[in-house]
Structure 1
């Protein structure tokens, strides 16, 4: 199987194109500084993953920026530190300022020459509008959790994406899903027979960071440690003809 076999790429955004772990930890700094006993970065991210996944399960219709405000509240309660409603809401609004990975914009601009580009993200439309400017490319479609009324790993989000592919002139078998998260993306994609590519951003780190732990490595067609590696592989395929 070759990257050039596909006509469309669907992308997870936060964790794959946007550095959400950096965004999370930076935006939580005021809360973290109130802790009497310091936590490691991974401790913070894993607690965040647990509360976020639980809240997404219980309130799937809640926009992500509002859901993050609840996560902030739950973290403050778990850590026994004071917080204000304004701080929680400010954290929810911080998503649009989370930075893109250095290789995201340039690689997307390259891939746009060869593929339809589609976003499939656990985000709300308002937050993604801000992130979109950092990615510097025109996507052919943007599908958010707010559009669907549920969060990945729900199959609903992937089914929604599959339903709109024909309107873009693309078939399921011509589509490759690109993501970092095993829990949110690769497991449901494999269950639905969607081919996928793992951008393993945490290859030099231990643990699962801001995503829930999973038992097995994902069943994927391609694996790279960066978007730049993916682009290099695609360019090499074109060179070989």
Structure 2
């Protein structure tokens, strides 16, 4: 199983909104978290977007300007750290440990290596291999990212038809994995909330091969056979 990390296993929205709320509270600003997440998602689609989570500092300037938060490099750097320290979803660690009993787990993240190391530790270091944007030189949904991973895994005797790609982002993962003929599983983390939150919205929705609203649901289905 290959896994998206940020948004699927790690609750980056919680890290982002927690960091923003702390800054807002210090300056007497009432924060609308969903609006902040939507602005962040728009910002991440900019042509000049940088690597995650470093680019969060740039996005903070846009969020701050639109929501009345204080500007300043220190606040942006603080938000980068809040996102890099975002928590795992409550079901992630146990579900990954369960799945690791049946599959080799591979991380595929658009995060930089330095941030991924924090996320991996928070998840209990469950991965057989990991690929970051620093390793691939590109970001999902670029097919080249997936092709690099497929090439590396082929060296371990793993064929494309033996992989299930697990992710919450329709934009970054589900659509492109379908185009490349990789079986996929959509973990709909925002099933109880409207919209796509801090994740870039896809141009069109892709019906996944498997669909769960939690990683625990996937793990339970595997255990049930």
Deviation of 1:101 after TM superposition, in Å, equals: 0.7
Number of equivalenced pairs: 224
Name the structure with the higher helix share. 1
Unaligned runs of 5+ in 2: none
In structure 2, C-alpha distance between the alignment counterparts of 1:156 and 1:140, rounded to whole Å: 21
Deviation of 1:82 after TM superposition, in Å, equals: 2.4
Residue of 40, 43, 46 corresponding to 1:48: 40
Work out whether residues 31 and 76 of structure 1, in 8 Å CA contact, stay in contact via their aligned partners in 2. Answer: no
Normalising by structure 1, we get a TM-score of: 0.86
CA distance 1:85–1:47, shift in 2 (3 Å): same
Work out whether residues 21 and 31 of structure 2, in 8 Å CA contact, stay in contact via their aligned partners in 1. Answer: no
Deviation of 1:80 after TM superposition, in Å, equals: 4.4
Work out whether residues 105 and 128 of structure 2, in 8 Å CA contact, stay in contact via their aligned partners in 1. Answer: yes
Partner of 1:165: 153
Partner of 1:24: 16
Deviation of 1:51 after TM superposition, in Å, equals: 0.6
Question: SS of the residue aligned with 2:211?
Answer: strand
Normalising by structure 2, we get a TM-score of: 0.92
User: For residues 171-197 of structure 1, what are the alpha-carbon distances to aligned partners after superposition, in whole Å with 9 as ceiling and x for unaligned?
Assistant: 111001000110111111112111100
In structure 1, C-alpha distance between the alignment counterparts of 2:133 and 2:86, rounded to whole Å: 18
In structure 2, C-alpha distance between the alignment counterparts of 1:110 and 1:137, rounded to whole Å: 13
In structure 1, C-alpha distance between the alignment counterparts of 2:84 and 2:45, rounded to whole Å: 20
Deviation of 1:159 after TM superposition, in Å, equals: 1.6
In structure 1, C-alpha distance between the alignment counterparts of 2:79 and 2:32, rounded to whole Å: 20
Deviation of 1:39 after TM superposition, in Å, equals: 5.0
Root mean square deviation of aligned Cα: 1.8
Equivalences for 1:22-171 in 2 at 5 Å?
22-33=14-25, 34=27, 38=30, 40-54=32-46, 57-59=47-49, 62-171=50-159
In structure 2, C-alpha distance between the alignment counterparts of 1:32 and 1:172, rounded to whole Å: 46
Work out whether residues 10 and 120 of structure 1, in 8 Å CA contact, stay in contact via their aligned partners in 2. Answer: yes
| 27-36 or 85-94, larger mean C-alpha shift | 27-36
Work out whether residues 18 and 82 of structure 2, in 8 Å CA contact, stay in contact via their aligned partners in 1. Answer: no
In structure 2, C-alpha distance between the alignment counterparts of 1:119 and 1:191, rounded to whole Å: 20
In structure 2, C-alpha distance between the alignment counterparts of 1:31 and 1:78, rounded to whole Å: 15
Q: Is residue 200 from structure 1 mapped to residue 188 from structure 2 by the alignment?
A: yes
Work out whether residues 95 and 216 of structure 2, in 8 Å CA contact, stay in contact via their aligned partners in 1. Answer: yes
Deviation of 1:213 after TM superposition, in Å, equals: 2.2
Deviation of 1:144 after TM superposition, in Å, equals: 0.8
In structure 2, C-alpha distance between the alignment counterparts of 1:31 and 1:156, rounded to whole Å: 38
User: For residues 182-216 of structure 1, what are the alpha-carbon distances to aligned partners after superposition, in whole Å with 9 as ceiling and x for unaligned?
Assistant: 01111111121111000111111111111122354
Deviation of 1:149 after TM superposition, in Å, equals: 2.3
